[in-house]
A and B are shown apart, each in its own frame.
Chain A
Amino acid sequence: MIKEGKFYKILRYLFLFGACIFVIIPIVPLIYMAFKTGAEYSSTNVLTPPKNWFNSYNFLYAIRVGGLGKALINTAVILSISLTLQILFTTMVSYVLHRFDFRGRKLIMTLFTLTMFIPVVTTQTVVFQIIYRMGLVNKMASVIILYSGVGIIGIYIMFNLLDSISKELDQSALIDGASYFTIYRRIILPLLKPACTTLLILNGIGYYNDFYIPNLYLRKDVQTFTVALYKFFGNMSTPFEIVSAAILLGIIPIGLVYIFLQKYIYYGLAGAIKS
């Protein structure tokens, strides 16, 4: 390893500290606000810490009035169904496209690849009409259907792993009389687990944070957490300190996921981007 000079080391720490301050400063007032009383909020400036760090009034208020609990449950339902479907579909598609040679294979692979060129935002004028005619607007099913589609990144992540799973394994199982479905179920699927985890984290964060799709399709009773937060925030009569508390509550799930899965996030992202 190349020796790092003293100057380099100091510069590194200075820069990294600076970067952390850059990240944290905008968030600090939000955290302060969540613990301030209404009177305190209007009489102090944004960078004054709250008097009482145990003031839970804003949090309780946010839970009670904002319907955020219900929205969080909706998000959980949508995420668990759509991610399960998406991951299952991705393994199925990848297994078939990777292990079988058939007419139309190239065409289907190309169709999946070319979706890179079709951003979601450019198709929604028509997709909305389709979902509307299916009678699914304002129903969770709309978002679930759109989220469960197989993406090319998912296929690439699976392919990377499938390349390293020996085809002889499938062959010998086939000779032993196993059906293709058994091979998929008993051999391929268990071995694809790490790739599934990567996809789960990647799209889990993406879908949890998504605003565009749920805001377009879930406009009434059923809301995801992000949309509920938006409605809550857009309602001018909601005091800002309550909104801040609601936001802190919303960060908790993603914060927990992050703390436990930090390693996977870094390597998952790097891996996904490489492929």
Chain B
Amino acid sequence: MKKTKSSRIIIVLFLLIPVIQLLVFSYIPILSNIYLSFTNYKGVGIPKWIGLKNYERLFTDPQYIMVFKNCLWYMLVAIPQLVFAFVLAIFVNGKFRGLNLFKGVLIIPYLLNGVIVSTIFIIFFNNSGTLNLLLETVGLGQFKQQWLQNLKLVNPSIASISIWRYYGMNFIMFFGALQTIPGDLFEAAAVDGCTKWQEIKYISIPSIRKVLFINILLSVSGSIQVFEIPYIMMNGANGTVTPVIQIQQSAFSENRVGFAAALSILVFVIVVIAVGLQSIFNKKGES
């Protein structure tokens, strides 16, 4: 459109507030965090430059190394989560009796908030909870555990909640991708006498590959940002602290804002790598 005075007015008017919000709540904070991460800022007073000390601490103090190690559990459970979501998407894709009912039930976890999910799984993992009761009922009583008190089991236990909570999102993405496969591909395959298994192997799986990769990277950037479940269920106790819980504790309980900033930047870098790979891959797939 032509540049006129009135067009200039509307451009400025319509962009003003959103761009200010963008700068004040995203860009200024991330840039000041980079600066603060090299200081010993306490939340008040003048930040003092301490160079790489915060980062040194992060990479050498076992307490903080553990915080990042905990994320590995969340990345690990992404594997069964993606497999489950993928198989589900394959089976749901198609027309059959009860389709909508299944879809309705399967999406439930996606709609529940962190407090609800935490409560559900406290009941589930409790000593007299659902899991132990089920084990006993099927005759596997000897495998009963104190899932949330045993320091070896607590992290894998609460990490596995992610499977239940987030598979729905992966499922919807896979399902969406399957729906975009052109119908004539299937028709041609049908004419050629292709079986259902061949269809899955040669049509469905290849066309879902791109979405699969995006989902893996989403899981990586999600794992590094885990907060709600360990915070609400455990309050970080029994060695369940994640980077985001640690950021919150350092910044708001211990007033070590500089250190929290360094931790934030580390999380930020990992997310940048994951999301960056994702968009590179996305572009490559298009061209």
Residues of A within 8 A of B (CB): 1-5, 8-9, 11-12, 15-16, 19-20, 22-30, 33, 45-47, 89, 92-93, 95-96, 99-102, 108, 111-112, 115-119, 121-130, 145-146, 148-150, 170, 174, 179-181, 184, 205, 208-212, 216, 226, 229-230, 233, 240, 243-244, 247, 250-251, 254-255, 258, 262, 265-266, 269-271, 273-274
Secondary structure type dominating chain A contacts: helix
Contact residues in B for A27 (Cβ distance below 8 Å): 108, 120
A209–B114 Cα gap in the complex (Å)? Answer: 7
Q: Interface residues, chain B, CB within 8 Å of chain A?
A: 1, 3, 6-8, 10-11, 14-15, 17-19, 21-30, 32-33, 36, 43, 84, 87-88, 91-92, 94, 96, 98, 100, 102-109, 111-116, 118-121, 123-124, 126, 128-130, 133-134, 164, 169, 172-173, 175-176, 179-180, 186-187, 189-190, 194-197, 199, 221, 225, 227-228, 232, 244, 247-248, 251-252, 257, 260-261, 264-265, 267-268, 271-272, 275-276, 279
Q: How far is the CA of A250 from the CA of B120 in the complex (A)?
A: 13
List the 5 closest pairs (A to B, CB-CB), nearest first: A270-B176, A209-B113, A126-B29, A123-B29, A92-B14
**Given the contacts A117-B271, A119-B221, A122-B271, A274 and B194 also touching, CB distance less than 8 Å:** no
Contacts of B244 in A (CB 8 A): 121
- CA A219 to CA B19, docked complex, whole Å: 28
* B-side interface mostly: helix
Q: Give the CA-CA distance A117 to B195 in the complex, in Å.
A: 43
- With beta carbons under 8 angstroms apart, the residue of B113, B119, B186, B197 that contacts A243 is B119
Contacts of A26 in B (CB 8 A): 120-121, 123-124, 130, 164
Q: Please, which residue of chain B has its CB at the minimum distance from the CB of A33? A: B123
Q: B22: which A residues are within 8 A, CB to CB?
A: 111-112, 115, 149-150
Task: Supply 13 A–B pairs (Cβ within 8 Å), ascending by A.
Answer: A15-B88, A16-B88, A19-B84, A102-B3, A118-B26, A118-B268, A119-B221, A122-B247, A244-B119, A262-B100, A266-B103, A269-B173, A273-B176
Interchain CB contact under 8 A, A273 and B115: no
Q: Apart from A117-B275, A127-B25, what are 18 other A-B pairs with CB-CB below 8 Å?
A: A3-B190, A12-B91, A20-B105, A27-B120, A29-B123, A102-B7, A121-B244, A122-B247, A125-B36, A126-B261, A128-B252, A212-B227, A226-B115, A233-B119, A247-B115, A247-B119, A265-B107, A266-B172
Which residue of B26, B128, B194 is within 8 Å of A123 (Cβ)? B26
> Nearest chain A CB to B213's CB is how many angstroms away?
13
A210 neighbours in B (Cβ, 8 Å): 113
In the complex, chain B residues whose CB is within 8 Å of the CB of A89: 17-18
A210 to B116, CA, bound (A): 11
B29 pairs with A130, CB closer than 8 A: yes
Which B residues are CB-close (under 8 A) to A45? 128, 133
Shortest Cβ distance from B29 into chain A, in angstroms? 4
Choose one: B23, B118, B133, B196; the contact of A46 (CB below 8 Å): B133
